[in-house]
Chains A and B, each alone.
Chain A
Amino acid sequence: MRRDAPIFRFNDARGAIEDEVVRRVMERVGDPTALLEDAIYNEVRRLSASDSEGELARWRSLARRLRTLDPDARRREVQAIAREHAHDVSGNFDPRVFALATRLMPPVLGALVAPKATFTSLRRLLDARALADRVTVEGHTRQVARLVEKGTVVYVPTHLSNMDSIVFGYALDLAGLPPATYGAGKNLFTNPVLSFFMHNLGAYKVDRRLRHALYKDVLKVYSCVLIEQGYHSLFFPGGTRSRSGGVERRLKLGLAGTGVEAFARTAQRGQAKKVFFVPSTINYLVTLEAQTLIGDFLQDAGKARFIIDDDESSRIEKVVAFSNKMLKHNEAVVIRFGEPVDPFGNRVDDEGNSLDARGNPIDPLSYLKNRRGELVVDADRDAQYTRELGEVICDAYLRHTVILPTHLIAAAMMNRLREDAGTSDIFTLLRVRQKVGVPWSQLATDATRLRDALREQELRGRVVLGPTVREGNGDTLLAEALRAWQGSHRSPVLEEVNGELWIGDATLVFYYQNRLAAHGVALDVLAPRRERGAA
């Protein structure tokens, strides 16, 4: 484990980073009045709906005073708010806690997803089995290990579960990579145990309830400054957990987009610090929050419930039971690193040199030159580079999706159901009752056939099969999927009755088969509607 990554010195640098963030945010401030009005409007609106009297009074008072303030005083108000936000966002990193946490990762994992955990339950969690045997890290790990020495690595994995950030953090440690800083939802900081670990593991706080532009500026600048200064970072560019269970096919990138700007800024200062994006997939045999997420997807309420804080991951007993159970399975979690790319979507070699499509070296600085040949930071241009990078990352997600038995069996079952029902309309499929059970041998045969089709795709580099799927046969895969599902969710996914399989919860079958939706072998109701750019 390397201890020379910048994050090990983060606490000393923290004050300077906050100062730099505030300085940069102020540099961008055009009209302080508009920023203040926007902040007041959004905060008063938000706080009126909650019962934070003190906070609310403060914003109302600012609203009243605003007219009497001269422009300089208004700028000072902006600066004060920016400083407060920067301090609130910035994290902490304690190497001792890090060392402890990597040893105690299984309980931390439980704690992460359980905001209501207490110290008592932590002790119970300590009995959890070691994760190491059950979490597999694969793909371009060796190359990433070289690149952390050559520049800043920005990990951009798929997002399924609240367990993701801690599981990914653990995967970095398993792969011998330095820890990465990441933005975690502020709601995850509410429990004392979790908050203690999050605070001390380099997480910074992202409060999704804050909607005003000044707060978003602070977040973006904070993330950009960290990347510029070499802090390896972790972002979930999908923005939120995949509701459908499918691999993200369109990205917002959000904060990850600051990687392009960070590179441009260091280049403009004549101290170009390379930035490497590592698209990765996090693949679960079973997903803790599957039932809530797919329910949310089907209600098409994804937006309304952007922050779900009452799902399976908020009940400690559920998490403990789930973690213990999950960790009994091989390939419980497979983390796969895709090929690293530069901010413009070009592949890079082990030394961090960018390569064009034919493997010829290419200078990444050239992308930053304007039509006069000058190195510039150009927000419009970088936003477009970021959109195109999003497409490259999505393509990597597809190619590095790791198929596990639950995904395969769910797809085979859904295909069978579609054939029997004579429709591919998901709402009809979820409503129809299965008339006859699917004989075990039938589903096993279907599963083998489906696996063979996916194997072809794997040979062409379009997907990856987990070892069980690659080497097993329909019977073993079916048995493994049933074992994995057994007791994992409130209702059974599939039930075996006298050698026949019956769907217990069609929404869960849908959820698990969605992992294959983009590969043309399963029902695909998730394909994004075509719009210009990646939005």
Chain B
Amino acid sequence: MSDRLTVAVVGGGPWGQALALAARRAGSEVTLVSRRAPPEGSELKHEVELGAAAASRLILLAVPSSSASEVLQALGPRLDGGHFLLHGIRGLVGDELAPISSLVRAHTPVRRIGALGGPVLVDELRAGTPSVMVVGSHFQEVLDASREAFEHDALRLYMTRDLTGLEWASALTALLSIAEGFALASRAGPGIIAAFTTRAVHEAARIAVAAGGEQSTLLGLAGLGDLLAAVNQPGRPEVILGSALASGLSLDEARARVGLRVEAIELLPRLLPWAEAHKVRIPIVSAIADAVLKGAPPQSLIRRLMTEPQSSADRAPRNSAG
């Protein structure tokens, strides 16, 4: 085995390609495992067969959450306890909103699992402009291996042991970014955007804590940081979607404008009953759901924010299963 870490990126969509390029730039030996060919001149090895990923010690899963289960089931028999498996998926699976790491645990023998999140954009990774990501794992060696695989002058990885919190932060900030799109398109003032952003992060923290994550993760780069970035990322898919809805397009038209799959839309209808079952108050997510799913005017989000009854003083979310 060479001295450099070998990395396989499973999934050849824009996100998978961008992460593969980032790892290559960091000096890793990278194989892109996908039916699609890697970009011309990218120095990425290419394999079509899924099982080829097993030849690398670090495997990064970058497929849509809806196919994660299927891919992991196919990959499982080829893996062993020596693999490190990361995913960069901003989704939660099924009605129980299982994080992807729990699917990895269920379908593969891999234990050393991690996730990538944070405010990085596909275009930044492709272009190699300075940006940051967050890597989460219960295992320090997975955090170290991820930094070794991806970090270089233009990409820094911040580490957290709170894998669950990171996975929820990624899914929830994606969802909340839709509302940043509403706000931007409705020319909301900075104070309103700040209020919305911080309230939204607190709501996300309540949700994540109920799911077993840590509040501090949501209040950090993976949550608040990611959402702050979204305010200035008009090219982010969720923001585009929100802006399109705010301009009066239907959901289908807005989706067409994004051109990419937006996981957050699929998360919304499952998150509402989940929050109810876990007794978590989610006024902002409910308002987003009304706008996205029921066609309520997105501008009403601001009205909801202004008139939402305040529940005494805002206390820190309780660490409870609800």
- With contacts A362-B81, A371-B141, A529-B320 taken as known, whether A385 is within 8 angstroms of B76 at the C-beta atoms is no
Interface flag for A422 (CB, 8 Å) = no
* Chain B: CB-nearest residue to A378: B141
Q: Which of A353-361, A408-416, A439-447 contacts B (4 or more CB under 8 A)?
A: A353-361
Indicate with 1 or 0, residue by residue over B107-133, a CB within 8 angstroms of chain A CB atoms.
Answer: 111011000000000000000000000
The answer to whether A530 touches B210 (Cβ under 8 A) is yes
The answer to whether B106 touches A373 (Cβ under 8 A) is no
A356: chain B residues within 8 A (beta carbon)? 76-77, 108-109
The answer to whether A357 touches B106 (Cβ under 8 A) is yes
The answer to whether B81 touches A373 (Cβ under 8 A) is no
The answer to whether B209 touches A530 (Cβ under 8 A) is yes
Prevailing SS type, chain B contact patch: loop
- With contacts A362-B80, A363-B80 taken as known, whether A530 is within 8 angstroms of B319 at the C-beta atoms is yes
The answer to whether B1 touches A373 (Cβ under 8 A) is yes
Interface centre among A344, A364, A373, A532 (most CB of B within 10 A): A532
Chain B: minimal CB distance from A275 (Å): 14
Chain B interface size range: 35 or more
Chain A interface size range: 20 to 34
The answer to whether B81 touches A364 (Cβ under 8 A) is yes
Chain B: minimal CB distance from A528 (Å): 8
Q: Which of A357, A365, A381 contacts B139 (CB 8 A)?
A: A381
Interface flag for A387 (CB, 8 Å) = yes
Q: Which of B158-166, B191-199, B223-231, B283-291 contacts A (4 or more CB under 8 A)?
A: B158-166
Interface residues of B in 199-237 (CB under 8 A from A): 209-214
Indicate with 1 or 0, residue by residue over A363-400, a CB within 8 angstroms of chain B CB atoms.
Answer: 11111111111000010110011011000000000000
**Bound CA–CA A367/B210 (angstroms):** 31
A380: chain B residues within 8 A (beta carbon)? 139-141
Interface flag for A401 (CB, 8 Å) = no
Chain B: minimal CB distance from A60 (Å): 40
The answer to whether A532 touches B141 (Cβ under 8 A) is no
Q: Which of A357, A364, A368, A372 contacts B76 (CB 8 A)?
A: A357
Q: Which of B5, B108, B161, B210 contacts A532 (CB 8 A)?
A: B161
- With contacts A362-B81, A380-B140 taken as known, whether A529 is within 8 angstroms of B321 at the C-beta atoms is yes
Chain B: minimal CB distance from A409 (Å): 28
The answer to whether A362 touches B138 (Cβ under 8 A) is no
B binding-site residues for A, Cβ under 8 Å = 1, 5, 57-58, 76-77, 80-82, 84, 106-109, 111-112, 138-141, 144-145, 148, 161-162, 164-165, 209-214, 319-321
A356-B76, A384-B139, A530-B209 known; 19 new pairs, CB 8 Å cut-off, are A344-B81, A346-B109, A357-B106, A362-B80, A363-B81, A367-B82, A367-B111, A369-B81, A371-B5, A371-B144, A371-B145, A373-B57, A388-B111, A530-B319, A531-B319, A532-B161, A532-B165, A532-B212, A532-B213
A binding-site residues for B, Cβ under 8 Å = 344-346, 356-358, 360, 362-373, 378, 380-381, 384-385, 387-388, 527, 529-533
Q: 12 A-B Cβ contacts within 8 A?
A: A345-B111, A357-B106, A358-B77, A368-B81, A371-B5, A373-B57, A381-B139, A381-B141, A385-B111, A530-B320, A532-B161, A532-B165
